Amino acid sequence: MDTRKVLSSLCYFSIFFAGFLFPLVVYFATGDEVTKTHAKKSLLSHLIPLIPTPLIVAAVWHDIATLHDQVPAFTIISIVALMLIWIIVLIWNIVKGVKVLTAE
């Protein structure tokens, strides 16, 4: 198996074990442009769900702190939206990792 394929697919699969750290290390450590491109794409895909997470958590925390008796609809919608974003990114990384690994 080609080292380029393994490193590129591990960048996508690193969502399970190293988050954005592994693609970042591969991006700066490799000299191969194809692997560097896959590392950059996987790094960006790993960061997509991390951007809205603190904002949604802060909004939900504020809603829960201000309304003690009820759970507002925004809180439920935000949590569901965040879970969908994480699931979509996870599936996308698995698909891309398998495609890179099985490419000719």
Supply the pLDDT for residue 55. Answer: 82
Residue ranges in the chain assigned as alpha helix (H): 3-13, 21-29, 33-47, 52-66, 73-102
> In the structure, what pLDDT confidence band is assigned to residue 1 with cuts at 50, 70 and 90?
low
> In the structure, what pLDDT confidence band is assigned to residue 13 with cuts at 50, 70 and 90?
very high
On whether the CB atoms of residues 14 and 97 are closer than 8 A, the answer is no
Q: Rounded to two decimals, what is the model's pTM?
A: 0.82
Query: Encoding tokens for residue 15?
Result: 């969502």
User: 10 Å Cβ neighbour count for 96?
Assistant: 19
Render pLDDT for 45-101 as a digit per residue (tens, 0 to 9): 999 888 888 888 887 787 777 776 776 777 788 888 889 999 999 999 999 999 999
Render pLDDT for 16-46 as a digit per residue (tens, 0 to 9): 988 889 999 999 999 889 999 999 999 999 9
**pLDDT (average), residues 4-15:** 91
Which residue did the predictor score with more confidence, 56 or 5?
5
Alpha-carbon gap, residue 19 to 48, rounded angstroms? 12
Alpha-carbon gap, residue 37 to 89, rounded angstroms? 18
Q: In sequence order, which residues have a C-beta less than 8 Å from that of residue 49 and are 6 or more positions away?
A: 82, 85, 86, 89
Alpha-carbon gap, residue 10 to 29, rounded angstroms? 14
> In the structure, what pLDDT confidence band is assigned to residue 14 with cuts at 50, 70 and 90?
very high
